[in-house]
């Protein structure tokens, strides 16, 4: 009798362990850099929130997958993907040839433009060319930003990388950089809306700079997972949920291919 009970208990424990392991393996780990409000930030209660967080949750719900979303700083997000710490870069990233050679990506989710930000009292009559020879800030590790700045202002431009837009704009306010280059949606929401800043010129949407648009990235060989997320994205976009989330956080609807 004791032997039988022991066997049942052992079987129950092993079954629970197997279920726990399966649950862990089935969980899709998504990393999002939570330093770019309104795209993603950490709320006072410690919860991740923002446009990209809500979009990832909406797609995970659509495809009925258990997703674990964590805050992974931009400067370590690709290493986290390469080392299997996360399964997906949930920060929407510009699609480029170089990235597609190394990673798998979803369909393009939306498009943004590139622009230069300056304090509101700056004379911008000379346009972008007037920034030549000056120090320009942008986000560290965002290669398309660096390439765009060099194309517009020259290869010898003093480009200074920052871990966050807030850090860059602090230096902009202090006069340590002449302009901050980033995507126009981020600049509009976080800075221009305050009335303290403006764009040097209209944003560019030229595909040779901004690429096809922004997507989510996975390790190479993730076709099954990518296909699943693509179906979820198609459904979320078709239902109007993407626009709903965009209006909630950015007061804007997105241009989708």
Note every long-range contact of 46-53, with CB atoms under 8 Å and residues 24 or more positions apart, other chains counting.
50/249, 51/245, 51/246, 51/248, 51/249, 51/250, 52/90, 52/91, 52/92, 53/90
Measured CA to CA in angstroms, residue 124 lies from 87, 116, 117 at distances of: 43, 11, 10
| Contact partners, residue 83, CB within 8 Å, separation at least 6 | none
Other Cβ atoms within 10 Å of 154 Cβ, number: 10
Q: Is the pLDDT of residue 17 over 90?
A: no
Residues constituting the chain: 257
Q: What is the mean pLDDT of residues 50-63?
A: 97
Q: What is the pLDDT of residue 49?
A: 97
Residue whose pair of structure tokens reads 């995970």 in the numeric block: 60
Domain 28-110+212-250 is classified in which CATH homologous superfamily?
Answer: Periplasmic binding protein-like II (3.40.190.10)
Domain 28-110+212-250 identical in fold to domain 114-210:
yes
Poorest-confidence range of 65-79, 147-161, 205-219, 221-235? 205-219
User: Regarding predicted confidence, which is higher, 102 or 188?
Assistant: 102
Higher-pLDDT residue of 9 and 113 is 113
Q: Domain spans of the chain?
A: 28-110+212-250, 114-210
Please tell me the predicted confidence (pLDDT) of residue 257. Answer: 66
Please check the confidence at residue 94 and state whether its pLDDT lies above 90: no
Q: Could you tell me the two tokens for 62? A: 């659509």
Going by CATH, does the domain composed of 114-210 fall within 3.40.50.10490? no
């Amino acid at each position: 009798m004791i032997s039988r009970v022991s066997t049942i208990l052992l079987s129950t424990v092993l079954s629970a362990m197997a279920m726990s392991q399966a649950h862990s393996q089935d969980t899709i780990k998504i990393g999002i850099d939570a330093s770019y409000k309104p795209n993603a930030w950490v709320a006072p209660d410690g919860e991740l929130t923002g446009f990209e967080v809500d979009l990832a949750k909406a797609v995970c719900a659509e495809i009925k997958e258990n997703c674990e979303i964590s805050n992974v700083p931009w400067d370590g997000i690709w290493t986290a993907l390469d080392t299997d710490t996360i399964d997906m870069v949930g920060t929407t990233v510009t699609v480029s040839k170089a990235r597609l050679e190394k990673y798998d990506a979803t369909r393009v989710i939306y498009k943004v433009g590139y622009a230069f930000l300056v304090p509101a009292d700056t004379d911008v009559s000379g346009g972008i060319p007037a920034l030549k020879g000056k120090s320009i800030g942008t986000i560290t590790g965002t290669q398309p930003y660096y390439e765009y700045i060099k194309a517009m202002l020259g290869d010898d431009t003093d480009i200074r990388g920052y871990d966050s837009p807030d850090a860059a704009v602090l230096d902009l306010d202090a006069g340590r950089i002449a302009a901050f280059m980033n995507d126009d949606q981020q600049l509009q929401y976080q800075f221009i809306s305050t009335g303290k800043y403006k764009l040097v010129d209209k944003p560019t949407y030229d595909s040779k700079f901004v690429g096809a648009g922004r997507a989510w990235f996975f390790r190479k060989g993730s076709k099954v997972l990518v296909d699943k997320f693509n179906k979820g994205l198609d459904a979320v976009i078709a239902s109007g949920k993407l626009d709903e989330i965009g209006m909630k956080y950015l007061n804007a609807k997105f241009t989708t291919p």
